[in-house]
Structures are given as C-alpha cells and as structure tokens.
Chains A and B, each alone.
Chain A
Amino acid sequence: MAKGLLDQAARTHGGRVIAALAARFRDLDLAEEAFADACLKAAQVWPRLSSEGDGAPRDPAAWLYAVAQRQALDRLRRRVTRARHVPDPPEPPPSAEDAMTDDARLIPDERLRLIFVCCHPAVAPDARAALTLRLVCGLTTQEIARAFLVSEPTLAQRLTRAKRKIADAGIPFEVPGPEAWSERLGAVLSTLEVAYAKAHEDAAGAGAHAGYAREMLDLTAVLVELLPGEPECLSFAALVRYAEARRPARLDEDGAMTPLSQQDPALWRRPLIAEAETLLRRAARWRRPGPRQLQAAIHAAWCGRASLAEPAPWPTVLALYDALLTWRDDAVVRLNRAVAVAEVSGPAQALAEVDGLDSALFRDFGPFHAVRADLLARLSRGDEAVAAYDRALALDPAPAERLWLERRRAEVAPA
C-alpha cells in the first residue's frame, strides 16, 4: 500500500520537489540525489505512520520536500566535512511529525526554471527532451531509453554529460529575460515537440513511446499554467490534447492503424477535445498566430467532425496547411499538405507535388513511401504502388502501421 502511494507521490510531485531543490541549491545532481534519499526514507517511515491509517503522511509532497531539503544540506555538509576531516553529527531521522507541520503550498514552484535549464540551447539537443522527462516528469532512465530507442547506458551517459555541462558551463537557473525570450521559449517548445512526437508515433499506444503521453499532458498543463500569455505554448498544449483524444480510435479491431479520415469520431475522448478547444481559443485571443497555432487548428478541424457520415474537412485542412507553409516551409509539412491536395484536387496533382520534394531526404522516411504508394494506387499505377509499399514496409514500421500497409498492398496486388 505505502509502496504504491510512494510511487504515485514521487511521480506526481517529483518534478516540483526536484525543481525547488535545484533552484535552491543550483545543483541538479544534488537535487536528484536528495530527492532519491527522501524517497528511500519515505519507504522506511511511511508504513509506520499508522495513525493516519493509510501509511502515508497527510501531505506527501511537503514531506518529501522537507526531508529532501535536509538530505541536501546534509550532503553538502558531508562534502565540506570530507574536506576538513571533522565528523559531523547526523540529522535526526524524519518522523511522523513532518507530516503534520508541512504544507505543499510552501514549496516554491520552480518547474518553469527547471524546464528552461533542461531545454537550454547550450545543452546537447539529443539530451534536452530526455533531461526534461527525467527531471520534470520523473520518468526513469529505463523508461526514457526505451522510448528513444537507445540503450540505457547510452541514455544515462547523455544525461550525465548534459548535467555536467549545465553545472560546468554555468547555465543559469533562471527564466530568460525578454531579449532572449522568443529564442529560448522556441527551444523549449521544440524540445517538447520532439518528446511528444516520440510518444505519439506509436499508434498502438501500448508501445514504448506512448508510455509518457500522460506526462506530456501534465507537462503542457504545467507550462500553460506558468505561461498563460504565450499563444504558442497554449497551442502546443491544445495539440497534445487533440492528438491524445483520438488515441482510442487509432487502431481497428485487428490492431491495424486507422487513418485519421477513417477514424470513428464516436470513439474520440470528448473531454480532452473540450480542453483542447478552450486552450486553442485562449491562444487565438492573443491575435499572434504561429506555426503551433496552425497545427493545432488542423487538429481542431478534424476533431470538429461529429461522425463518419459528415464529410472530412479536407478543404479547411488544405487551407490551414497553406497558411502553415508561411511559418514552417519544410518537407514534412509539404508531404502532409499533399495528402490534403489529393482529396481536394485529385491524386495526380498531389503526386506531382510529392515527386517535387527532395526524395533523398525521405529515402528512409516510411510515411513518404506510404503516401506515394497510396497516390500511385489511386492513379492505377499498381506496380509502382506495390514497390512503394514494399519500400515503406522495409523500413521496419510499428506493428499497427505494418498491418495497415500490408493490407493496402494486398488490395493493389491481390496474391
């Protein structure tokens, strides 16, 4: 019982506690170690808090923070002591009283500062998302390594290197000032986009990537709470909710991926869509459009569909992609736009646009070959379509995508 409560408390409050410790001591390692110490103490002490009846203090976050803070001071003292060779009296063990005297509201909320530290442009790009998930969301190294498809030692080394860079290079534990604001907020949002793309990639949701979709919902909720006046931030939070709302409809009964236009809107999670709509409306009110606002608007267009009987919103989607191109003209946006072009102007024009893209860039990008295959099939160019499906299948897609691709391929080339 206490174990479950402790895990839950660590997961829910860990980010906030670690952030507060890091802000106070300006030392990420110390913050992490002290928090781990506190969790260890909790595992020993909480089961004895039987007066509460449930084996947990009244206010787990406050308890963990109070104990971790003492542990951090203790560790610092030991560092100094080691240098002086004078033994120091140990801290009294944490007791049930800690549960009575503390209040989680007294923990300063430093998570925003911690997010800006983790996503600092001076931190290696491949470590930023991992560090944020580790420190702010409390994911384990193992969970993150699995999601990013790297070995655990590799990821652990990346995290260690990033933390050392933060400490040695003197990356400040501050929210950046106005002169650097847009660049730094951009770095934060790009980092979270990378993290979320990993969580979203796997349609099955049971795969390793989807493991922290829940944390991404929490993290974006924290961001909009802390930055209520940033439309791109609000828009990204909306986007994550729209995408997660559709998760139950992303697989059919055989476990194959269901394309967005064929998903049954009745399966979408309406409360999340409602949350997303509120966020996107708040973003729009600032009248400062940006790429993430347009991306969220594309999701909104889809999620506005009430049933499969309603026509798919392709013309709106195409218009939004056209607008998005003025903000973010990259090959992936153009590829997605081509899918809408196929529905609005026909597959021939869409194929012309897809073939105008840099094919070398997309050589190992499965979705590119899947889109091409579909367009070729619709133009009755069966052999070429089969070749493109084979190319997509050779790139080791997730099981749900594989099943869908195999099915489409079979329709074009009956065995």
Chain B
Amino acid sequence: MEYALVIYEDEAVYGEEGSQVWLDIFAQHEAFAAELVEKGLLRGGAGLKPTNTATTVRKVAGQHALHDGPFAESKEQLGGFYVIEVPDLDAALAWARKLPLTADGAVEVRPVLAGST
C-alpha cells in the first residue's frame, strides 16, 4: 500500500533558512530519503517553504477568494510530506517514527487513494 507521511511542526523552531537547526534537520531528511530510495520504497514527496510564503485560494459559495497565509493558523504547520510504498500500516508507522523532526512535531500517516500516484 502507499502511504503519505505528512509532517507538522512549529516552523518557528527552524528560524531562517540556513540556520543550524534547519541545516541539521535537512541533512537528516536527506539521509532518511536516501534510505527509502535505497530500499525502493520512495514514491514521492516534497519539503515546503515556510507559511509566510503561502497564499490560499478559498472557494466560498462558488466564488474564489485569495488571502495571504496558510489555510489555517495553528501552532504547527504543514511542512512537507513523503509518499512511501510499504506492505501495511505498521510498516508505515515504523517509518513515521524514524522521520526526522525537531524536538516536537507530528507525522500524520494516511493511505493514498489507489491509482493516484
């Protein structure tokens, strides 16, 4: 099955792009992704720039409206995701545990709709 590992963290912890925290976690992500590639499990994914770069298009009663910022203001923000191919949920959860995070954060594990990648 394919699963998306969706990453939520407080982006403020990272500071500016290129900060020490940012560099450390980025290096860990490279190693994590390399391991997935090596095992032939990686199907896709991306890291996202901070939410101050986000623009949201919202459709309300058929009308589109734009606003600056992410779709919801929250303590933790969507920071990126992986799509992996593993046999079952337990295997996906094991990878989610290995996924690099700063001290606090969450990884939401969700099956990908069949045929969508």
A169 on the B face (CB < 8 A)? yes
A120 and B87 alpha carbons, distance in the complex (Å): 16
Contact between chains at A171 and B89 (CB < 8 Å)? yes
Contact between chains at B90 and A174 (CB < 8 Å)? yes
A99 and B4 alpha carbons, distance in the complex (Å): 49
Contact between chains at B111 and A172 (CB < 8 Å)? no
Scan residues 39-88 of chain B and give those whose CB is less than 8 A from a CB of chain A.
Answer: 87-88
A93 on the B face (CB < 8 A)? no
B6 nearest CB across to chain A (Å): 14
B66 nearest CB across to chain A (Å): 34
A170 and B88 alpha carbons, distance in the complex (Å): 5
Residue of B nearest to A116 (CB): B90
Picked from A122, A172, A176, A180, the residue with its CB within 8 Å of the CB of B87 is A172
B34 on the A face (CB < 8 A)? no
Tally the A-B contacts, defined by beta carbons under 8 Å. Answer: 28
Scan residues 1-45 of chain B and give those whose CB is less than 8 A from a CB of chain A.
Answer: 1, 3
Chain A contacts for B103, CB-based, 8 A: none
Contact between chains at B94 and A171 (CB < 8 Å)? no
Contact between chains at B90 and A180 (CB < 8 Å)? yes
Chain A contacts for B87, CB-based, 8 A: 170, 172
Contact between chains at B94 and A172 (CB < 8 Å)? no
Contact between chains at B94 and A179 (CB < 8 Å)? yes
A172 and B93 alpha carbons, distance in the complex (Å): 11
Given A171-B88, A171-B90, 4 extra CB contacts under 8 A: A169-B110, A171-B89, A172-B88, A172-B90
Closest 4 CB pairs of A and B: A172-B88, A170-B1, A170-B89, A170-B88
Q: Offer 16 A-B interface pairs, CB within 8 angstroms, sorted by A.
A: A122-B89, A122-B93, A169-B89, A169-B110, A169-B111, A170-B87, A170-B88, A170-B89, A170-B111, A171-B88, A171-B90, A172-B88, A172-B89, A172-B91, A176-B90, A180-B94
